[in-house]
Amino acid sequence: MQYPPTKLPKVGITIFTEMSQLAAEYGAINLSQGFPDFDGPLALLDRVTYYLENGFNQYAPMAGVVGLRNAIALKVEKLYGCEVDSETEVTVTSGATEALFSAIGAVVCAGDEVIVFDPAYDSYEPAIELNGGTAVHLALTAPAFSIDWQQVAQAITPKTRMIILNSPHNPTGAVLSAADLDQLEALLEGTDILLLSDEVYEHICFNGTHQSLLRRPALAKRAFVVSSFGKTYHTTGWKVGYCIAPTQLSVEFRKLHQYLTFCTVHPIQLALADFINDYPEHTLELPEFYRQKRDIFCELMESSRFSFVPSEGTYFQLMDYSMIAPEMDDLSFARWLTKEVGVAAIPISVFYESPPEQRLVRFCFAKDDETLRQAAEKLCRI
């Protein structure tokens, strides 16, 4: 029997899977894949248990539990001054990855171009290609990993359907500024170009307020804005996210969503709605919670041979290993670090179409303080 050719010839297992498997094999401290090694809030876990034990174990509404969609709408109004219709403009999804795929699939057609910024999260391009589009890669400008808006203007063609933004940015920790949104707004005026804004780390921004596209009516009217409860509530394994988009875009979004997952786990949605309403301070306290972890890790690493600038957002920290192994590419270095030093990291080059000459790896500091101390002790011995 002859099988059909692969639809994703460039795709293998993700770097996150590879490095986590390697960490498990060698007993290394896993600072590679982005998940906390501590649990979510006890009050939230208790509410999940309550709904599990009280009969809420059948299908949820396709677009999401009404109470949760209402809580999301209220949150974005309070934080970003954006009024959204929870009935027609908010959709709960089975993780942000599903939301990203649904948004791309809803509007990207054969021959369309989608601008992405490298280093780009690895789920964007496969979704674009599966829907017949082409990813147009533009490199962020190091060392700040900022967007060159003149380069964006030059990359736009009549085929440009969408621009994908990610702030706070994974893997670099960079954040968009208000000035960035000014330039984006001016650039898109008079066009039909859509936006997909990956804002899963919206509540982990260390230097000022998060510049969500929802703050700008002119941008929000053309945008799918995606976020993640897993990142916000330390529960990445639940895979619950959401997408906010104008009604017409949400209609198309839900057409894909209903056939990808139809709905998201019911008791967890109900528990999240309760927790958001009962503990609104959680999201306000989250930046300081992760700032402390970033600062602990960075202070512990001051005596190492790595060089770095503290991350501006997310729970990731880039570090330059040029003083340690300048001749070694970052994938080789990450594998060596896992096997020989006992700490797993993520190489940055895998998120580029054309990797630049740099020696960077990404560490996750969403870990218990003792885990960070043990990892830093190993890294400082190099």
Shared-domain flag, residues 33 and 86 = no
Residues 217 and 349 in one domain: no
Residue 12: band (very low, low, confident or very high) from pLDDT cuts 50, 70, 90: confident
- How many Å apart are CA 36 and CA 41, to the nearest integer? 12
Which residues are bridge partners to 318 per DSSP?
362
Mean pLDDT of 336-353: 95
Residue 44, exposed/middle/buried by CB under 10 A (0-12, 13-18, 19+)? buried
- In-domain check, residue 51: yes
Q: What's phi and psi for 287, nearest 5 deg?
A: -55, -45
- Of 46, 351, 300, the residue nearest 172 (C-alpha): 351
Residue 298 maps to which CATH number?
3.90.1150.10
Looking at the structure, tell me whether residues 147 and 273 fall in a common domain: yes
**359 vs 296: CA distance, rounded Å:** 23
Q: Is residue 6 part of a domain?
A: no
146 and 184 together in one domain: yes
Q: What pLDDT is attached to residue 347? A: 96
pLDDT tens digits along 143-186: 999 999 999 999 999 999 999 999 999 999 999 999 999 999 99
| Dihedral class, residue 267 (left if φ above 0, else alpha if ψ from -120 to 50, else beta) | alpha
Q: Say yes or no: 47 and 130 in one domain.
A: yes
Same domain (yes/no): 148, 199:
yes
Give the per-residue pLDDT at 112. Answer: 98
- Binning pLDDT at 50, 70 and 90, where does residue 207 land? confident
Close Cβ partners of 257 (under 8 Å, ≥ 6 residues apart)? 62, 63, 91, 93, 98, 102
In CATH, what number is assigned to the domain containing residue 253?
3.40.640.10
Question: Mean per-residue pLDDT for 330-340?
Answer: 96
Q: Which of 278, 301, 325 is the last residue of a domain?
A: 278
Query: Are 219 and 79 found together in one domain?
Result: yes
Same domain for 25 and 59? no
Residue 101, pLDDT score? 98
Number of independent structural domains in the chain: 2
Decide which of 278, 296, 319 is a domain's last residue: 278
Q: Can the peptide bond before residue 267 be classed as cis, meaning omega within 30 degrees of 0?
A: no
pLDDT at 333 over 90: yes
| Identity of the amino acid at 19 | M
- Percent of the chain scoring above 90 in pLDDT: 93
**Per-residue pLDDT tens digits for 174-193:** 999 999 999 999 999 999 99
Q: Is 289 a residue whose pLDDT tops 90?
A: yes
Same domain, 336 and 191: no
Place of tokens 């599903």: 98
Residue from 337, 309, 330, 307 nearest 320 by CA? 307
Average pLDDT of the chain is: 96
Q: Phi, psi (5° rounding) for residue 265?
A: -45, 125
Q: Over 307-374, what HEC string results?
A: ECCCCCECCEEEEECCCCCCCCCHHHHHHHHHHHHCEECEECHHHCCCCCCCCEEEEECCCCHHHHHH
Query: How far apart are the C-alpha atoms of 56 and 65, rounded to whole Å?
Result: 11
CA distance to 41, 173, 176, 294, 332, per residue, from 272 (Å): 11, 26, 28, 26, 41
Q: Are 146 and 140 in contact (CB under 8 A)?
A: yes
CA distances for 111 relative to 67, 83, 132, 213, angstroms: 40, 34, 6, 26
Distance CA 84, CA 149 (A): 29
Structure tokens at 90: 């908010």
d(CA 378, CA 361): 16
Instruction: For residues 125 and 270, state if they share a domain.
Output: yes
Q: How many residues does the chain have?
A: 382
- The 10s digit of each residue's pLDDT in 213-255 is 999 999 999 999 999 999 999 999 999 999 999 999 999 999 9
Mean pLDDT value of segment 308-320: 97
**pLDDT value, residue 357:** 87
Same domain assignment for residues 144 and 166: yes
Q: What is the pLDDT of residues 113-128, one digit of tens each?
A: 999 999 999 999 999 9
Decide if 262 is inside a domain.
Answer: yes
Domain end point (choices 262, 278, 294): 278
Asked if residues 77 and 69 have their Cβ atoms less than 8 Å apart, the reply is no
Which residue range forms the structural domain that includes residue 294? 15-40+282-380
**pLDDT for position 13:** 82
* pTM, to two decimals: 0.96
**Are residues 311 and 248 part of one domain?**
no
